[in-house]
Amino acid sequence: MKEIGLYIHIPFCMKKCDYCDFLSGVYDERMQEAYTRSLCQEILYGGQQLKSVAVSSIYIGGGTPSWLDAEYMEMIMNAVYQAFTVLPSAEISIECNPGTVTKEKFDTYRRIGINRISIGLQSANDDELKLLGRVHTYNRFLHTYDLARKCGFYNINVDVMTGLPGQTLEKLMYTLDAVTGLRPEHISAYALIVEEGTPFYDRYKFDAVKQHAGMETEFLPNEDLEYQLYKMTQHVLSERGYRQYEISNYAREGLECEHNKIYWKRKPYLGVGIGAASLLDDVRASNVRDIYEYLERCEKLRAGDEFSPLWDSATKLTRHEAMEEFMFLGLRMNCGVMREDFEKTFGCNIEGVYGDVLKKLRGEELLTIEGGRIYLTEKGMDLSNYALAEFLLEK
């Protein structure tokens, strides 16, 4: 049976954070109920359309999924079990923000099969949390983390952010010390990106331009410090038993996020909810982003419709695009890509397509080939934007 990953988007948040450009917002209870109903319709429709697939991992992201009432989350997971065969070994993750979960919610999550919790901490420094516009304090996070453990969750991720305005090596070290002291199974460390349309953009747009141009900055860390923050994270986490397995992701032995690996390995996945992306048979698609339009279109879903009336865009990748993606995404992982997987996927030898690029990057010590495995070196990871761009086939 073909296996797929399932992504479920919950767009609700308690308050919009100042740097956030994710598809999320503050909605009332009525909208939460209406959205849950539509989401269940979409899930059931997905199950009817994608017959004979097994779901090997589920990721409930957002937004703040834990902001949704537990009874709605239960309805959503019931729809999933009704629509799909979920493998007993499936990793089922949910994103939670500190202060939005109660014991009852965690108990419900366990009961409905959720076995991995991802908590958005971002920083252990309350002044940084305030600056980001987050609603929680570090103490609130600690309470949520303890509660998750007490409720029996043995697979927890903690998100931290680097490159914050005014962040120093000492401040980041404080956060890393605090987080690693708790021994979560997984840590994600993403660098802040100042996105257009956010309050952060209004505040820091000139600084962001200066940062990219390698100039001195006023608030954001300059390029040099940004690099030092990244290297310190890498070094401290690896020293404390967290192996880096992707540019921004670290895990204790055997506890990598299976769902994320589906994305990087270009395995098929279905995304449900507003703006959710899917990759099915080399078609990259994403759902409508407007929540009202989504509700309307879900009402009209009928089994047998051409897949899927909810897609806003759908593109069949060309062979070259699929090859580029295979390399871009695969090389983000420390283990890189397998020569044999490339051959199996595209029916041709990787050297025939990328022979010159592989030779060039090896010469620059950015890439290593070891047996059947091709991966970026530490230097290659540091210069990943440059190295990955080399795999574009139509420049």
Residues of the shown chain interacting with ligand SF4 in the complex, contacts defined by CB under 6 A: 13, 16-17, 20, 22, 24, 62-64, 97, 120
CB of 12 to ligand SF4, least distance (A): 8
Burial of 317 (0-12, 13-18, 19+ CB in 10 A): middle
Helices (H), 89-168: 103-111, 126-132, 138-150
Q: Which is nearer to ligand SF4, 46 or 275 (CB)?
A: 275
What 3-state DSSP class applies to 349? coil
Instruction: Tell me the Cα Rg of the chain.
Output: 21
Residues 133 and 15 sit within 8 Å (Cβ to Cβ)? yes
Output the smallest distance, CB 52 to ligand SF4, in A.
34
By beta-carbon proximity to ligand SF4, the closer residue of 190 and 346 is 190
- What's the closest the beta carbon of residue 288 comes to ligand SF4, in angstroms? 19
CA dihedral defined by 336, 338, 343, 349, rounded to 10 degrees?
Answer: 80
Q: How many residues does the chain have?
A: 395
The distance of closest approach from Cβ of residue 243 to ligand SF4 in the complex, given in angstroms and rounded to an integer, is 26
Toward ligand SF4, which CB reaches closer, 36 or 97?
97
Q: What is the C-alpha to C-alpha distance for residues 217 and 192, in angstroms, rounded to an integer? A: 15
Residue closer to ligand SF4 by CB (options 46, 163) is 163
Q: Which amino acid is at 282?
A: D
Q: Which is nearer to ligand SF4, 12 or 245 (CB)?
A: 12
Reduce the DSSP state of residue 282 to 3 states and report it.
coil
Count Cβ atoms within 10 A of the Cβ of residue 325 and give its class: 0-12 exposed, 13-18 middle, 19 or more buried: middle
Nearer to ligand SF4, 120 or 163 (CB): 120
Query: Other C-beta atoms within 10 Å of 263: how many?
Result: 18
ω before 273 within 30° of 0 (cis)?
Answer: no
Minimum CB separation from ligand SF4 for residue 25, in Å?
8
Question: Cβ closer to ligand SF4: 120 or 165?
Answer: 120
Closest approach, Cβ 120 to ligand SF4, in A, equals 6
Nearest to 67 by CA among 138, 130, 142, 15: 15
Least gap, CB of 26 to ligand SF4 (angstroms): 9
Nearer to ligand SF4, 155 or 198 (CB): 198
Looking at the Cβ atoms of 257 and 333, the one nearer to ligand SF4 is 257
Closest contact distance (angstroms) between CB of 310 and ligand SF4 is 21
Amino acid identity for residue 313 in this structure: S
Distance in Å, CB of 163 to ligand SF4, minimum: 15
Amino acid occupying residue 252: R
How much of the chain is helix, strand and coil, in % rounded to 5? 45, 25, 35
> What is the closest distance, in whole angstroms, from the C-beta atom of residue 97 to ligand SF4 in the complex?
5
Residue type, 14: M
Q: Which of 393, 280, 260 is nearest to 332 (CA)?
A: 260
Q: How many CB atoms lie within 10 A of CB 160?
A: 23
Q: Among residues 159 and 185, whose Cβ is nearest to ligand SF4?
A: 159
